[in-house]
Amino acid sequence: MRKLLLLGCLFFSPLTLSDSLSETNEWYIAKNGQYLIRDSINTGYFAMMGANTVGDLNVYLQFWDKEDCQEVGDKVLGHDPLLVNGKLVKYSQACNNGWRMFFPSTEAGRKYLISEFKKKNLVEITTYAKNFKVLFSAKGFTKLFNAKKIQAKAI
């Protein structure tokens, strides 16, 4: 029985690793329909493509934070600026069904973040104090961005 269990672990472990690696290497559409990329450094952090309150496409940095999100509710709060590929961008934060989401506070910041995902291979988002960072692949972003943009124009 132990040998069978060990063989099962050896057989299925690479599949799980392969799935999580593919989620860090290229933007993908999750089973729930979200357009995502997983952070390649930290566990549990994602960048998600979605529409903001006025319908413009945006990129949200998100992680599961159910406990704190219950206290905060769905209010939009300010956040310290973050460095996006070395450039300081004003950010806000909000919670959505237990997910804490960070997003550029200004139109210029939103456009800059999207342009970085379109132009670069990697997008690094770092705290101003440089004590925490996330790193996202930009591979596949433009293709999914264009598809999402077409969908957003549907009547």
- Interval 6-31 mean pLDDT: 58
Domains in the chain: boundaries: 34-150
Query: In whole angstroms, what is the distance from residue 90 CA to residue 50 CA?
Result: 18
| 21 — pLDDT class (breaks 50, 70, 90) | low
- Interval 111-133 mean pLDDT: 97
pLDDT score, position 126: 97
* Per-residue pLDDT reduced to its tens digit, 96-119: 889 999 999 999 999 999 999 999
pLDDT at 19 over 70: no
Query: In whole angstroms, what is the distance from residue 43 CA to residue 46 CA?
Result: 9
pLDDT at 20 over 80: no
Sheet holding 28-29, edge to edge: 28-29, 35-38, 45-51, 57-64, 99-104, 87-96, 77-84, 122-127, 133-137
Query: In whole angstroms, what is the distance from residue 145 CA to residue 57 CA?
Result: 8
Q: What are phi and psi of 24, to 5 degrees?
A: -100, -15
Model's pTM, two decimal places? 0.82
pLDDT at 7 over 60: no
